Amino acid sequence: MSLVIADSLADALSALAGGARPIAGGSDLVVGARQGTAALPEALVAIDRLDELKGIVTDESGVRIGAGVTHAELMTDPVIVDGLTALADAAALVGSPSTRNVGTIGGNVMNASPAMDTGAPLVVLGATVELATTGGSRRVPVSELWDGPGTTTAAADELCVALHVPPSGDRSGSAYVRLEYRRAMEIAVVGAAAAVTLDDSGALATARVALTAVAPSIVEVTGLDLTGRSAEDAVASVADAARGAASPISDLRASDGYRLHTVGVMASRAVDAAIRRAGGDSIAVPVNRAEGIGASR
Amino acid sequence: MNQDYTLEVNGVEYPVSADTSRNLLSVIRGDVGLTGTKEGCDDCECGACMVLLDGQPVNSCSFLAAQAAGRRITTIEGVMDGEHLSSLQAAMIEEGGVQCGFCTPGMVMSATALLGTNPEPDEEEVRIGLSGNLCRCTGYTKIVEAVMRAASETGDS
């Protein structure tokens, strides 16, 4: 096999057009190869040093998160922590410090695991993924990118170069929580993200909820009409709505029935934390640690 | 396919000619010849293989060696303070943070990185900093105490 370290985005896109596969931190690709999931591709192009994929930039159209931004950066960047808090909650729960140093949001999104922590936050925040080739680029809502466990609708020569998140209004907040059996090096048993906006009376103006590890891909709870509901009412009613959107499997980490029950609990907690953040409460990142959700020490 | 590149390990440049699929752990141990970095799970779970890339902890078992060319690699052989143990290494001995010793290099690397960015961590921050490192002997308490001791000694000086 061969490995080329790309000097520019154009170099990387040319390599992809020639059949190479991209590698950033290698935390999925190299680990997968060593576990026998899939052999390393014959040709790799390293994209972890590309300035074009770095950085978190805000303008009138929202926030652009470079695909090469690491989980360690996401969990501490003020733009993410203050404005896209659910994404910071999720990034802070991924793996361990070393995983978060090498793992990137672009890699996490394109790996398309149904248990990915950053996925549900990106859905509720309305994110689109920017895919580039030598011929140009296009944007796709993240929920239309994932096609099943480990598969996406992106073509082989398309590189994820950024995630774009539109601005959210005043009195908005978001949160991500997950059920976990241990506090680090863990994969979500189930998880839920919520993003809400409050009206002047403190009732819900908008609300989106998405679920982790209860379907072949991250799923949004559709048909959720919480507009005008009080916080208490929304927290109470979202659990059943979440269970209605879930179609979990049984595996070594949990049974389908356990996942179905607990994803409702996680959805309620995510909505509760998002509403409190929207109302001005400061809940530290990640909510799991701040609120004692998930594994205790 | 063999690829020729240079790795900078602990400030020394090593010419390497190795198959592109080789991981950094394998090249550090087998080609560079520094065997302080350990292979535990070989699966990115246990942290025995932890090295620093540009000062940040990375599981070397799951990082391609060729991808580390041009970056600053630090291993356990590179953390001493000149001829003396670093304050963290000394604290690990004094607090009894070492039993069988197999996880120790990885623990020291993660803790070195933590103290580099956060010289006065609280206990929770130390536990998070070491959360990618498994130890099957100590129960972690003495390791955490050693890092806290090193932090307070560094902070005092």
Check whether B96 has a pLDDT greater than 70.
yes
Give B-chain residues touching A102 at CB under 8 angstroms.
58-59, 63
Give A-chain residues touching B133 at CB under 8 angstroms.
96
Q: What is the mean pLDDT of residues A275-279?
A: 97
Check whether B157 has a pLDDT greater than 60.
no
CB B53 within 8 A of CB B63: yes
- State the pLDDT at residue A297: 67
What gap in Å lies between CA A107 and CA A12, rounded to an integer? 15
CB-CB: which of B23, B67, B110 is closest to A3? Answer: B67
Alpha-helical regions (H) of A65-192: 71-74, 78-83, 85-93, 97-102, 105-111, 119-124, 142-145
C-alpha distances (whole Å) from B73 to each of A102, B27, B85 are 14, 12, 19
What gap in Å lies between CA B91 and CA A65, rounded to an integer? 41
- State the pLDDT at residue A39: 87
Closest-CA distance, A4 to chain B, in angstroms, reads 9
How confident is residue B153, by pLDDT bands cut at 50, 70 and 90?
A: confident
Q: What is the mean pLDDT of residues A179-206?
A: 95
ipTM value for the complex: 0.94
Interval B1-28: pLDDT, tens: 899 999 999 999 999 999 999 999 999 9
Tell me which residue of B97, B105, B93 sits closest to B141, measured CA to CA: B97
Check whether B131 has a pLDDT greater than 60.
yes
A157, A163, A166, A167: CA torsion to nearest 10:
-160
The average confidence (pLDDT) of chain A is 95
CB A213 within 8 A of CB A259: yes
CB-CB: which of B47, B66, B70 is closest to A3? Answer: B66
- State the pLDDT at residue B15: 98
Check whether B135 has a pLDDT greater than 90.
yes
What class is the B87-156 domain?
mainly alpha
Strand duo A190-198 + A172-179: pairing? antiparallel
Interval A30-86: pLDDT, tens: 888 877 778 899 999 999 999 999 999 999 999 999 999 999 999 999 999 999 999
* Domain B2-78 coded CATH 3.10.20.30: yes
Give B-chain residues touching A34 at CB under 8 angstroms.
23, 42-44, 61-62
- State the pLDDT at residue A17: 98
Q: Provide the residue ranges of all domains of chain B, joining segments of one domain with +.
A: 2-78, 87-156
Q: Provide the residue ranges of all domains of chain A, joining segments of one domain with +.
A: 1-46, 172-286
Centre a 10 Å sphere on the Cβ of residue B29 and count the other Cβ atoms it contains. Answer: 18
Percent of chain A with pLDDT over 70: 100
Q: What is the mean pLDDT of residues A289-296?
A: 86
- State the pLDDT at residue B156: 54
- State the pLDDT at residue A77: 98
Closest-CA distance, A238 to chain B, in angstroms, reads 32
What gap in Å lies between CA B72 and CA A181, rounded to an integer? 36
Fold of A1-46: 3.30.43
Helix-helix angle B141-156:B87-94, to 10 degrees: 140
Check whether A151 has a pLDDT greater than 90.
yes
- State the pLDDT at residue A264: 98
**A172-286 in CATH: which number?**
3.30.390.50
